[in-house]
Chain A
Amino acid sequence: MRVLSLAARRLAASLPTLLIILAGMFLLLQLAPGDTVDALIAQMGGGGDAAMAEELRRFYGLDLSIPAQLGNYLWRLIRFDLGFSAIYGKPVATVIFERLPATLALMTAALSFAFFVGLVLGVIAAKRVNGWPDTVISTLGLLFYATPSFWFGLMAIVFFSVHLQWLPAGGFEDVAAGLTGFARLRDIAAHLVLPTLTLGLIFLAIYLRIMRASMLEVLTLDFVRTARAKGLDETRVMVRHVLRNAMLPMVTLIGLQAGTMLGGSVVVESVFSLPGLGRLAYEAVVQRDLNTLLGIVFISAMLVIFVNFLVDLLYARLDPRIGTGGAP
C-alpha cells in the first residue's frame, strides 16, 4: 500500500515536468524550417502542385495556428490519444509499441552487461588497487569510454561479421529464414550480441570507475575495520559489508542512465539497423512528424519516471536508513 501511494505521489509530482517538456518540444520543433509536408515532398522528388501541398497540410492538420495545434495535441493527450503518425500512417501508440521490444531488449541487455561486468571489474580493481590488474582494467575502461560508439560498432561488424562471419552484421532478426519459437529467440540474441557490446562498453567504463572509487572509500570506513576485527573472513567482509554499501552510487547511476540509453542509442541503432526508439525519434525529427516525436518523448519520460521509482525502492532495500518516504 505504501509503495502504491508513493507511486501515485511520484506520478503527480512529475506531471508538470512532463507538460513543460512536451510543450517545449512542440515549440522547439516549430522553429525548424519546413513541416512534414515539405519532408514528404522531398521524399517524392518533386512534381507536386500547390493544391496538393495545401490538401496535404489540411490532411495533417497543419493549416491551424500553432496554439490551436498545441491545444489540440494536449487535449488528445488527456484522453490518452497520442495522435496519428504522418510518416507511418497509423496511430503513434502502435508505432511506438512496435519499436519498444527492440529498444527495451537492447537497453536491458546493455545496461545489465555494463552493470555486472563493471561491478566485477570495479571490485577487482579496488582490491588490487595500484597493482597490475587495476592498471589494466582502468586503462581498458578509459579506452572504451574514449572510443566513439559508431566506430566501435563498425569495427565490430567488420571483424566479427565480415571477416570471421560469426555474427550477423545488422538487423533485429533474420527475416528471410522465417524462424519460429526457440530458434527465433536464438537468432534475435545473436543479432543483439554486437549492439549490446558496443552500447555496453561505453557505460561499462563509467560503472567500473564508480564502483572502484566507491569500494575504495567504503574500505576505509570504521565498520569494515570492525567487521575484520570481529574475525569475519575476507569474502564475507567484501560481500556483506563493503559491496552492499558501495552499491548505492551504482544504483543511482543506473536510474539516470536508463533514460539516456532510451534516447542515446540512435547511433548504435543506425549502425546495426535495429528498429529502436532512437532511430524512430531521429526519423520523426527529420520528417517533422510532430505527433510521433512528442509520443516518444512522452513514453520515454514515463519510462524514466518508472525506472527512477524502482531505483528508490532499491535504495530502501540496500540501505534500511533510507525509507520509502511513507512513514515519518
Chain B
Amino acid sequence: MDMNRRALLLTSAALAANVVAPEAAFAQEQPRRGGIMTVHFPTEQRILNPSLQASTGVYIVGGKIQEPLVDLDAAGNPAPCLAESWEATPDGKTITFKLRQGVTWHDGKPFTSADVQFTAMEMWKKILNYGSTLQLFLDAVDTPDAHTAIFRYSRPMPLNLLLRALPDLGYVSAKHVYEGTDIRQNPANTAPMGTGPFRFVQYERGQFIIADRNPNYWRNNLPYLDRVVWRVVTDRSAAAAQMESGQLLFSPFSALSIADFTRLGRDPRFEVTTRGNEGNARTNTLEFNFRNPVLADIRVRRAIAHALDIPFFIENFLGTFAKAGTGPIPTTSPDFYPANMPQYPFNRAQANRLLDEAGHRRGAGGVRFTLRLTPAPWGEDIALWSTFIQQSLNEVGIKVEIIRLDAAGFLRTVYNDWNFDLATGWHQYRNDPAVSTTVWYRSGQNKGAPWTNQWGWTDAETDRLIDAAATELDPARRKALYADFVRRANTELPLWMPIEQIFVSVINKRLRNHSNTPRWASSSWHDLWLAS
C-alpha cells in the first residue's frame, strides 16, 4: 500500500508541470446526462476488437464497447471490472478470478466464465500481440461454475504482473460470436460486441465510427453520454482546426503537431495534458547494429551517447511534454524504476576521447566514419530527434546519412533485413518490464519480430536476469532483479533510451470526469459527461 501511495506521489510530481486539476473545482457539479462525444481518430484500423489486437488505436474505440477483467483505478492500482476479485496460490501457478454477476452482452446473452475461457485460450494465447507472450505458459482455464475462471499456468505467474497486464491484455469477447468461426475473419472484428457502456452502431471507413449508449449497462444509470462518434481525420493541422471549431472534443495519443500542443495549451477552451496517459509511457531509442564492427565496440556506443545533448534537444524541440530518460524503465513506473543507474551525460570531449581510443582518427574533413540512421516514420519527435542525432554526431566526426522509410519499410529493413547501422523509434512501456520492455534486450528473438533484440547482441547475464525476474513472485526481489537488469543494460548499451515521453491529450474543457485514470484514453468512459 505504502508503495502505491509513493507511486501516486512520484507520478504527480513528475507531471506537476502539466497538471491542472479541474476535478476539484467541478466536484460539486451535477453530472449532465446526454450529449455526443466526438473523438479524433487518426488512422484506419483493420481490427477494433481489443481481445485480438493490443494497441492504442484499438483501445480508443474498442475500449468503450468491450471490457477487460481488470482495470486501473485513479492511483494506478488494479481495480475490478468484469472480474470482481482474484487470488493466487502460493506457487503462483493457479490464479482464480471471481466474475461479476448479472452482466449481459449487448445482444442480451449473459456474460459467463465460458466467455473468459474461450477468449483466454483462443485469443489472448494465440492471436493477441503481447498476450501470446504473457500467456505462453497458460495451460488451461477451468470453469467450475458460470462465475469462476481458474487460470492454470505451467510456470509461476506473478500475480502483480498479470494484474498490471490485464487492463490492456485482458479484454473479453463473446464466445457465442466467435466459436466455430475463423476468428481472423469474423465480422465482429470491425463491428465489436461487448459488455461495455457503449454499443457499436456503424464503422464507415475513412469517415467515422459510431457507438450508442448501452441502456442495460451493469453500472446502474451509466454512462452519461448518449453517443460517441470517432471522426477519421488524418491531417494533423486539420484535426487541430476541428478541435478549435468544436467538431472534435478530444484528440488522444499525441495526434496533433507539437506546435499545436503549445498553441492550444494557451487557449482557455482546451486542456493539453499528459494526465490520463501515465500508463502509456514511451522512450525514444537509439538502436545499434552490432553486425557493424565499428558499433560492436562499446567505446563507440558510449561515445555516441555522450555526444547527444538531451536537455538541449528537449528544451528546444519537444517542450514540456518530454524529459530526459535514464534507461529502459521510465520514471512513470515507480514499482520498478531504479534510481542511480549508469548514465551518459552530454560530454563532447569525452566522446572524442573515446572515439580516438577506439582507433577512429579523424580523416579528410574531420570525418572519422560514416553511419546510416534509419528513423521510424511515426511521430514528429522521431524526425526531429534523428536530425538532432545527425548534427550532434557530425560534431564529433561521425557522418550520418538519414534513410527515411514508411512503416512497413522501416520494420522490414531494420528488424528483418538488419540493413541499418543506427535506428531510432519508440519503445512503449506497458506498466511492467516483462510485457514489452525486456524483449528489446533478451537474446533468441525470432528474426523479423519488430521492437525486439535484433541487434546481433547476446549477453548471458542479461538473459539470466530477465528470465529470473519474469517468474519471481516476490515483488521486492522482482524489483531488485529489474534494477540489476537496467544496470547491465545501461553498462553494455546495446541500445540507449535517453528521452522519456507520455502521450499528450488535447481536451475540450466541456468534458468532465476526464483523465481520471492512468489509462483514461483507453478506458470505458462510463463516467464521462459533457457540460453544456
Contact = CB atoms under 8 A, between A and B. Distances in A.
A271 B245 contact: no
B29 interface: no
Given A89-B189, A286-B406, A46 B241 contact: no
A60 to B, nearest CB: 10
A168 B38 CA distance: 14
A283 B238 contact: no
Interface in B172-204: 184-185, 189-190, 204
B77 interface: no
A191 B412 CA distance: 40
B241 A154 contact: yes
A165 B206 contact: no
Contacts of A168: 245, 247
A245 B47 CA distance: 56
Given A38-B411, A49-B133, A171 B206 contact: no
Nearest to B409: A33
Given A89-B189, A98-B205, A157-B238, A42 B245 contact: no
A33 B205 contact: no
Contacts of B450: 41-42, 46
A310 interface: no
A315 B303 CA distance: 71
A251 B263 CA distance: 47
A170 B247 contact: yes
A175 B410 CA distance: 36
B411 A42 contact: yes
Nearest to A151: B237
Contacts of B216: none
Interface stretch (B19-27, B49-57, B78-86, B473-481): B49-57
Interface residues of B, number: 63
- How many chain A residues sit at the interface, stated as a range, is 35 or more
Given A87-B44, A99-B206, A275-B204, A49 B449 contact: yes
A36 B238 CA distance: 27
Contact of A42 (B204, B210, B407): B407
Contacts, number: 180
Contacts of B238: 153-154, 157, 169-170, 270-273
Interface string B451-480: 110000000000000000000000000000
B233 A47 contact: no
A104 interface: no
Listed residue (B45, B53, B405) with the most chain A CB atoms within 10 angstroms of its CB: B53
A275 B205 contact: yes
Listed residue (A43, A89, A171, A288) with the most chain B CB atoms within 10 angstroms of its CB: A43
B46 A34 contact: no
B491 interface: no
A280 interface: yes
Contacts of B36: 176
A279 B206 contact: yes
B407 A39 contact: yes
A325 to B, nearest CB: 40
Interface in B388-441: 405-413, 416-417, 428, 436
Nearest to A165: B245
B54 A45 contact: yes
Nearest to B207: A275
A165 to B, nearest CB: 7
Nearest to A99: B206
Contacts of B130: 46-47
Contact of B408 (A33, A50, A99, A172): A33
Listed residue (A35, A52, A272) with the most chain B CB atoms within 10 angstroms of its CB: A52
B448 interface: yes
A170 B241 contact: yes
B232 A89 contact: no
Nearest to A50: B446
B514 interface: no
B15 to A, nearest CB: 23
B227 A45 contact: no
Contacts of A89: 46, 185, 189-190
Nearest to B378: A42
B237 A154 contact: yes
Contacts of A99: 206
A42 B410 contact: yes
A176 B43 contact: no
A307 B475 CA distance: 70
A231 interface: no
Interface in B46-77: 46, 53-57
Interface in B247-293: 247
A34 B452 CA distance: 17
A172 B378 CA distance: 27
Interface in A67-118: 86-89, 95, 98-99
Contact of B417 (A32, A33, A52, A280): A33
Contacts of A283: 44, 206
Contact of A34 (B45, B408, B446): B408
A162 B241 contact: yes
A273 B413 contact: no
Contacts of A49: 132-133, 446, 449
B5 interface: no
A328 interface: no
A27 interface: no
B309 interface: no
A8 interface: no
Contact of B229 (A35, A154, A176): A176
Contact of A162 (B45, B184, B244, B448): B244
B106 interface: no
Given A41-B450, A87-B46, A286-B406, A171 B57 contact: no
Nearest to A53: B448
B405 A33 contact: yes
A39 B57 CA distance: 14
Listed residue (A33, A98, A165, A168) with the most chain B CB atoms within 10 angstroms of its CB: A33
A95 B131 CA distance: 31
A43 B476 CA distance: 35
A316 interface: no
A44 B449 CA distance: 12
A36 B412 CA distance: 11
Contacts of A44: 53-55, 129
Given A42-B378, A50-B446, A171-B233, 8 more contacts: A33-B413, A38-B407, A47-B131, A52-B132, A89-B185, A158-B241, A170-B233, A170-B238
Interface of B: 36, 38, 43-46, 53-57, 127-133, 184-185, 189-190, 204-208, 210, 227, 229, 231-235, 237-238, 241-242, 244-245, 247, 378, 405-413, 416-417, 428, 436, 446-452
Interface of A: 32-36, 38-50, 52-53, 59, 86-89, 95, 98-99, 150, 153-154, 157-158, 161-162, 165, 168-172, 175-176, 270-273, 275, 279-280, 283, 286-288
15 contacts: A33-B405, A33-B417, A34-B406, A34-B412, A38-B412, A38-B416, A42-B450, A48-B132, A49-B449, A53-B449, A98-B205, A162-B244, A170-B238, A171-B207, A280-B206
